[in-house]
Structure 1
Amino acid sequence: MTSSKRSSIALVIVAEMAAMSLWFTSAAVLPDMVREVAITPARQALLSSAVQAGFVAGALAVATSGIADRYDPRRVVAASALLAAFANAVLLITPIGGDAAIAARFATGALLAGVYPVGMKIAVGWGTRDRGLLVSLIVGALTLGSSLPYLAAFLGGVAWRPTVLAISVLAGVGGLLVLCAGLGPHHAVSPRFTPTAVRLAWQDSRIRNAYLGYFGHMWELYAMWAWIGAAAAASFAVTIDTDAAQSLGKLTAFLAIALGAIACVFAGAAADRVGKAEVTIAAMALSGIAAVLTALTFGGPVWLTFILIMIWGITVIPDSAQFSALVADAAPPELAGSLMTLQTAIGFALTIVTVQVTPILAASFGWPLVLAGLAIGPALGILAMLPLRRRGSGA
């Protein structure tokens, strides 16, 4: 790897990590917001699910408008990160849990669609043979960035406003670093979204199965990331002081998500050797088992539940990049961009539902049942991915 490639990829990773820290800001500080103002479970969920909805809308807008192709993608990422940071900071001046706060979270998600997918486009322009690894590095940056609000909230204690401000500054300043990165020799214009992709996504069994596997993965992923801090705190509070449980819940969420970032790198390297579908099956099997075991130990020994959540966090994300890679492998080159855009849009649309209903169902049926229910997604995802194994596909 040349020095220019190393430095450019490193800058993109740091910029992505900083900007994507905005995603779970409200989820990380939610317990402290609720201390100050009573917020209904539905509105608590909206503060997180609005980001998912915004991202779906933003991703489709970026794809159909060709923004990333008409302009320098580095400028698109930098401008999106800066504007998303401002949108996140609106939480500081609006009523807690009000309509304006929810709208600000929607805007944050929409703007992050100009960060994550476009950053991936910059990264893959630097290689062909190692694209699986390059995509995994960006997913790892997203994962680590997603964990940072929980760390900031843990360090900040019950004072949530400094956390929001710190994350906003980090995202805005860090996102600008991508302007110093270069564009690789394989950087090319990607096709805009075309309705033809909708038909092919259903007709081609390889693409259809990769989509279904991805949907199973997404059923679990963002619900876990958004609410594992709250679920962990509720479990810990059975045996330790409530304030200590909430503080430990924030740290638990940070570590669980952050450790997954490391797993992404190893999964990306392994996928090229043992098979992309094989990696997704192994990861979903382990994460599904971890979800069920976490549910079974809910309210039990703190150390045991903590360890299981760590295992869950490590195994819930490393397969993420491989679903898109499988679609790219199976798709006609001229439709690959559209098919991956459609896959991402539907997958994140699904997370709007899971993120929104998770705390509502937990209030009605309890966290153990809800956590165990998240394992349904990876179980169905595994069934979809089985035909795509190397020996199963005859590759």
Structure 2
Amino acid sequence: MILKTPNYILSLIIFAQFCGTSLWFSGNAIINDLIIDFNIENDIIGEITIAVQLGFVIGTLTFALLSIVDTYSPSKVFFLSALLASVCNIGLIIPESTISTILLCRFCTGFFLAGIYPVGMKIAADYYEKGLGLSLGYLVGALVLGTAFPHFIRNFIHELPWKLVLIYTSILASFGGLILYTMVPDGINRKKGALLNISQTLSILKNYKLRQSAIGYFGHMWELYAFWALVPVMLSTYNFTHLDEVINVPLNSFYIIGLGAVACIMGGYLSEKIGTKKVALYSLFLSMLCCLASPFVITYASSTVLVIFLLFWGMVVVADSPLFSTLVAQSIEPEKKGTAITIVTSLGFTVTIVSLQFMSMLVDLTNLKMVLPFLALGPVISLMLLSRRRKT
């Protein structure tokens, strides 16, 4: 008998994913308050962002090497990770926190997010072997909305005390984990993996199709998080150099980043029509063109044209994310699927740390317009490597 996945399952996974990943960016929404209340230097902003990314990388490597997601119930792993990440997130409200305790709390939050974001994709993959690209499109779309949310908060909710932001997001994440644990059992296509075997785990990287998918994902990740970080900077730079036109930076940043959620879903639908790999590569190519064109647009375009351009860029820069994850999941045996997704995600976020640091260094050395084309490095290298035929 063929078991059919209930229609509500995907909605619950998406909701839980959004709740859990809201912790990722809660620190961004209150960072100015932390600087004021704890008398922290402004240059700590980059370190706080990197702390979460680094924690996530270490967490995903730990989860992957121990094969946690393939060995134990993914729903239980998700729930426990959501609880622990919530505790770390709320740790920022401890009185008289120092820079060290703040960075430690953000690092630990990132570590346990490793049991939320990739595990959510693993759960979806266990339910939706067919139409996986669309399913992951919805999941990554939830993450994108979480990314944009701090900008929404900054524009509309100026008076909300920063400690309440942390408390509410921690409650939300815990609730999402509880919903998934109680209402989403292990997927019908799940196959339990073996206990810890590091050599077998690392052997996953010998899979040619997985490596090809990972190459595309890494190029995409080089650009994505640096672009998200630079969106408000690009808008502010335009305001500074075009005094006759004023762009609402927080609100338009929310629109530019948030519209990527729609692009993830659209990419999922297109992948079912013309193929997952084709849509992913088209998206990567278009975002590369945006990187190269951006200095000219910022210099010569009107504010309306600039915002439209950035809205388009915000869509194509992330539309390929769930598609490369889909290709990774489809390239590996079911019992290794969770570990494969986690390894590739971990390495991808390692790339974001290098990219963010590299772009930050360049911005300090020269002006933004000279820096933006370097975002194209990832897509260019990935497209070049993916265009090479396999030697037989």
TM-score normalised to structure 1 length:
0.85
Q: Could you tell me which residue of structure 2 aligns to residue 46 of structure 1?
A: 47
Match among 215, 224, 229 for residue 226 of structure 1: 229
Matches within 5 A, 1:265-284: 265-284=265-284
Relative to 1, partners in 2 of residues 1:329 and 1:186: Cα closer, same or farther, differing over 3 Å?
closer
The Cα of 1:205 is off from its aligned counterpart by 4.2
1:195 to 192, 199, 207: 199
Comparing 179-188 with 220-229, greater Cα deviation is found at 179-188
> 2:156 aligned with 1:144, yes or no?
no
Alignment of 1:182 with 2:184, yes or no, is yes
| Change in 2 beyond 3 A, CA 1:158/1:39 | farther
Aligned partner of 2:264: which letter? C
Matches within 5 A, 1:56-135: 56-69=57-70, 71-93=72-94, 98-135=99-136
Q: Say whether residues 1:342 and 2:343 are aligned partners.
A: yes
Contact 2:118 2:345 in 1 (8 A): no
Aligned partner letter, 2:250: K
Letter in 2 for 1:176: L
| Identity rate, percent | 31
Kindly indicate whether the alpha-carbon contact (under 8 Å) linking 1:207 and 1:327 is maintained by their aligned counterparts in 2: yes
Distance 1:186 1:331, change over 3 A: closer
> Are residue 216 (structure 1) and residue 219 (structure 2) matched?
yes
CA spacing shift, 1:96–1:28, aligned 2, 3 Å: farther
The one-letter code sitting in structure 2 at the alignment partner of 1:210 is S
Residue 167, structure 1, aligned to residue 169, structure 2: yes
Query: When the two structures are superposed, what TM-score results if normalisation uses the length of structure 2?
Result: 0.85
Distance 1:154 1:170 in 2: 21
For residues 339-390 of structure 1, the C-alpha deviation after alignment (integer angstroms, 9 at most, x for no partner) is 33322221111112222343343233222223221122112222233358xx
Pairwise CA distance, 1:171: 2.7
Partner of 2:156: 155
Map residues 259-270 of structure 1 onto 2, 5 A cutoff: 259-270=259-270
Kindly indicate whether the alpha-carbon contact (under 8 Å) linking 1:279 and 1:319 is maintained by their aligned counterparts in 2.
Answer: yes
SS at 1:342's partner residue?
helix
Q: How does 1:245-394 map to 2 (within 5 A)?
A: 248-298=248-298, 301-332=302-333, 335-386=336-387
Letter of the 2:199 counterpart: P
For residues 309-330 of structure 1, the C-alpha deviation after alignment (integer angstroms, 9 at most, x for no partner) is: 2111111111112223323444
2:189 partner amino acid = H
Is the 8 Å Cα contact of residues 122 and 337 (structure 2) preserved in structure 1?
no
Quote the offset at 1:159 in angstroms.
6.2
Contact 2:29 2:150 in 1 (8 A): yes
Aligned 8 A contact 1:8 1:180 in 2: no
Distance 1:222 1:122 in 2: 24
Note if 1:7 corresponds to 2:8.
yes
CA gap 1:116/1:200 in 2 versus in 1, 3 angstroms: closer
Give CA deviations for 1:85-107 in whole Å, capped at 9, x if unaligned: 23223333366881211111111
Distance 2:153 2:167 in 1: 10
For the 8 Å contact 1:221–1:316, the answer to whether it is kept is yes
Q: Distance in 2 between the 1:285 and 1:59 partners?
A: 28
Q: CA deviation at 1:217?
A: 0.7
Residues 141-165 of structure 1 show CA distances to partners (whole Å, capped at 9, x for unaligned) of 2222222222122222376715444
Contact map agreement 1:95 1:101 (CA 8 A) in 2: no
Q: In 1, distance between residues paired with 2:335 and 2:189?
A: 16
CA spacing shift, 1:370–1:119, aligned 2, 3 Å: same
Task: Go from structure 1 to structure 2 and tell me whether the alpha carbon gap of 1:332 and 1:121 turns closer, same or farther (over 3 Å shift).
Answer: closer
> How far apart are the structure 2 equivalents of 1:366 and 1:47?
24
Q: Would the alpha carbon gap of residues 126 and 196 (structure 1) be closer, same or farther in structure 2, given more than 3 Å must change?
A: closer
1:221: how far off? Answer: 1.0
The change in CA–CA distance for 1:337 and 1:286 in structure 2 (over 3 A counts) is same
Quote the offset at 1:335 in angstroms: 4.6
Shift of 1:72: 3.5
Query: For the Cα contact (< 8 Å) 2:118–2:341, is it kept in 1?
Result: no
How many Å separate the matches in 2 of 1:19 and 1:82? 9
Residues 226-276 of structure 1, C-alpha deviation per residue, up to 9 Å, x if partnerless?
A: 34234433333443599x86xx32222222222111111221232233222
Q: Tell me which moved more, 148-157 or 92-101.
A: 92-101
Distance in 2, Cα, partners of 1:39 & 1:160: 21
- Per the alignment, do residues 164 and 338 of structure 1 end up closer, same or farther by CA in structure 2, a change over 3 Å counting? closer
Q: Distance in 1 between matches of 2:372 and 2:98?
A: 25
CA shift at 1:80, angstroms? 1.7
| Separation in structure 2 between the aligned mates of residue 97 and residue 225 of structure 1, nearest angstrom | 28
Cα distance in structure 1, aligned partners of 2:333 and 2:173: 36
